[in-house]
Chains A and B, each alone.
Chain A
Amino acid sequence: MQWNSKVRRAAAVGSSLLAAVVLAACSTNSAPTGSASADAGAGKPEGSIYCGEKCQAQLQLAAAPSSISCSVGVSWNSASHPYGAKHTQQIPKYAAQFFPGMKVTVADAQGDGGKQSGQVDDMIAQKINVLVVSPADAAGLSDAVQRAEAAGIKVIAADRNVETEVSTYIGSDNVEAGKVAGQALVKALNNQGTVVELAGSLGASPTIDRGKGFREALASSGVKIIATQTANYDHAQGLKVMEDFLQRFGKGQINAVFAHNDQMSFGAIQAIEEAGRADEIKVFGIDGESGALKDIQAGTYTATVGYPAVVQETVLAAAKLCAGESIDKRIVLDSTLIDKSNVDRYLSNPPQ
Chain B
Amino acid sequence: MTLKSQPTTSAAALTVGPTPLSRLTRNLVPLGVGVILVVAVAVLVPNFFQLSNILNVGRQAAIVGVIAIGVTFVILTAGIDLSVGAILAVSGVTMALLINSGTPAPLAILAALFAGLAIGTINGLGAAFLHIQPFIMTLATMVAVQGLSLRLTSGGPIQFSNDDAIFMVMGKSQILGLPSPFVIFVFVSILGILALRYLAFGRSLYAIGGSFEAARLSGVPTRRTLVIAYGISGVCAALAGVMTASRLGTGDPVAGSLSNLDAITAVVIGGTSLLGGRGGAVGTVFGALLLAVLSNIMNLVGISPFDQQIVKGVVIIAAVLITGDNLRQILKRRTVS
Contacts and interface: CB of A to CB of B under 8 A. Distances in A.
Contacts of B53: 247
Contacts of B247: 236, 239
The interface residues of chain A, by DSSP majority, are classed as: helix
B155 A80 contact: yes
Q: How large is the interface on A (under 10, 10 to 19, 20 to 34, 35 or more residues)?
A: 35 or more
Contacts of B63: 236
A240 to B, nearest CB: 6
Identify the interface centre among A35, A199, A247, A250: most chain B CB within 10 Å of its CB. A247
Interface in A88-129: 89
A15 B216 contact: no
A247 B213 contact: no
Nearest to B297: A244
A229 B299 contact: yes
A1 B213 contact: yes
Interface residues of B, number: 42
Nearest to A85: B155
Nearest to A2: B216
Contacts of B300: 244, 247-248
A229 B305 contact: yes
B296 A244 contact: yes
Contact of A236 (B47, B212, B248): B248
Contact of A245 (B50, B255, B299): B299
Nearest to B179: A274
Contacts of B56: 243-244, 247
B225 interface: no
A26 interface: yes
Given A199-B305, A228-B305, A240 B254 contact: no
B47 A248 contact: yes
Interface string B144-164: 001100110011110100000
A84 interface: yes
B302 interface: yes
A222 interface: no
A15 to B, nearest CB: 6
A93 B154 CA distance: 14
A89 B154 contact: yes
A227 B302 contact: yes
Contacts of B150: 79-80, 85
Contacts of B308: 229
A287 B56 CA distance: 29
A236 B245 CA distance: 9
Contacts of B131: 1, 3, 8
A210 interface: no
Interface string B120-159: 0000001001110000000000000011001100111101
Interface of B: 47, 50, 52-53, 56, 59-60, 63, 126, 129-131, 146-147, 150-151, 154-157, 159, 172, 212-213, 216, 244, 247-248, 250, 252-255, 295-296, 299-300, 302, 304-306, 308
Given A227-B302, A248-B47, 5 more contacts: A33-B154, A82-B156, A85-B156, A244-B56, A247-B50
Interface of A: 1, 3, 8, 11-12, 15, 26, 32-35, 79-82, 84-86, 89, 199, 202, 227-230, 234-236, 239-241, 243-245, 247-248, 250, 263, 266-267, 270, 274, 291
29 contacts: A3-B131, A8-B131, A26-B151, A33-B151, A35-B154, A80-B150, A80-B155, A80-B254, A81-B155, A81-B254, A84-B155, A85-B155, A89-B154, A89-B155, A199-B305, A202-B306, A229-B299, A234-B254, A235-B157, A235-B248, A235-B250, A236-B63, A236-B247, A236-B248, A236-B255, A243-B60, A247-B47, A247-B300, A291-B159
